[in-house]
Structure 1
Amino acid sequence: VTEESEEQTVTTAPYSHSIDTGTSLPTVTYDFRRSPAEQEAIKKEVELMLKKGVIVPSNSEWCSPVVLIKKPDGTFRFCVDYRKLNKVTVKDKFPLPLISDLLEKFEGYKYFTTCDLKSGFWQLPLNKTDGSAKKTAFQACGSLYEWVSMPYGCVNGPSSFSRLMSIVMKDLPNAVFFCDDACIFSKT
């Protein structure tokens, strides 16, 4: 669980995320024209992510565009469109837990504590030695940035995060996880 803060995000994971694209050439999709409101939303999000230390300026050959999804309250959700990168990424088959298996573990237990791991993917660092960060580059505010931690939208994100959570929670028999949600359960 991480707090809602503008402070730097700390990644201390026992595992790092890699983006294996084999021998594929870099994929490039340039940014789109934006309204002033969209430009401002992107600028604020980029400033926040720089402050948190989850992105850094880049000189990558790879480039994916930012997309903004309008929320019901009129604000925007910042996303990067990694469809081209995902097409050339070797798929990780690490399994997500089955909901039916998780529910079965709860039988006979009375107390449940749930935790939503805020910005959970950002807690998982990108592999620093294999060029994965360069592949996450995106264009915004007239500059190019790349991720230091795992971004949302990469095809293998859920598998990598599931692998991380399996490592972290392997010795906790009364705890389960699904994506970035954890549940601790007990009889008393």
Structure 2
Amino acid sequence: MPPERDIEFSIELVHGTAPIYKKAYRISGVELLEVKKQIDELLEKGFIRKSTSPWASPVLLTEKKDGTLRMKARLLPMLLDN
């Protein structure tokens, strides 16, 4: 579990910048369950928190050498749009 920190962080946006929202990739029912499981684990450990931000980036799953699935966020397309 990461240490608790009293850190405020913000990103200054260029005036007129609209939120970027990328659609989710199509995934199977089994993959969707895995994504939900991993998100629940990350929430429980305090690594992530719920957000209502209009900004969004899709996630995808890749298979690791041991056969388990790794969840990755696809941030690069969002960064390249502007």
Instruction: Give the TM-score category using the shorter length.
Output: 0.7 to 0.9
Give the one of 19, 33, 40 matched to 1:26: 19
Distance 2:70 2:23 in 1: 19
Residues 9/46 of structure 1: CA separation in 2 closer, same or farther (3 Å cut): same
Normalization by structure 1: what TM-score?
0.37
Equivalent residues of 1:21, 1:88 under 8 A apart: no
Looking at structure 2, the residues matched to 67 and 56 of structure 1 have their Cα atoms a distance apart, in angstroms, of 19
Alignment map for 1:34-113 (pairs within 5 Å): 34-87=27-80
Per-residue deviation, residues 59-96 of structure 1 (Å, max 9, x unmatched): 2111110111111222111111112332267xxxxxxx
Q: Which amino acid aligns with 1:80?
A: A
Structure 2, unpaired ranges of 5+: none
> What does 1:157-168 align with in structure 2 at a 5 Å threshold?
none
Separation in 2, partners of 1:19, 1:50: 22
Provide the alpha-carbon RMSD of the alignment.
2.5
Q: TM-score, normalised by structure 2?
A: 0.74
Which protein is bigger by CA-based radius of gyration? 1
Q: Distance in 2 between matches of 1:69 and 1:20?
A: 33
- Please say if residues 27 and 84 of structure 1, whose CA atoms lie closer than 8 Å, have aligned partners that are also in contact: no
CA distance in 1, matches of 2:18, 2:28: 32
Count of residue pairs brought into register by the alignment? 81
Shift of 1:58: 1.8
CA contact (8 A) 2:59 2:71 kept: yes
State the partner residue of 1:95: none
Shift of 1:50: 0.6
CA contact (8 A) 2:60 2:73 kept: yes
Q: 3-state DSSP class of the match of 2:58?
A: strand
Greater per-residue strand proportion = 1
The answer to whether the 8 A contact 2:59-2:73 is kept is yes
Q: AA paired with 1:22? A: V
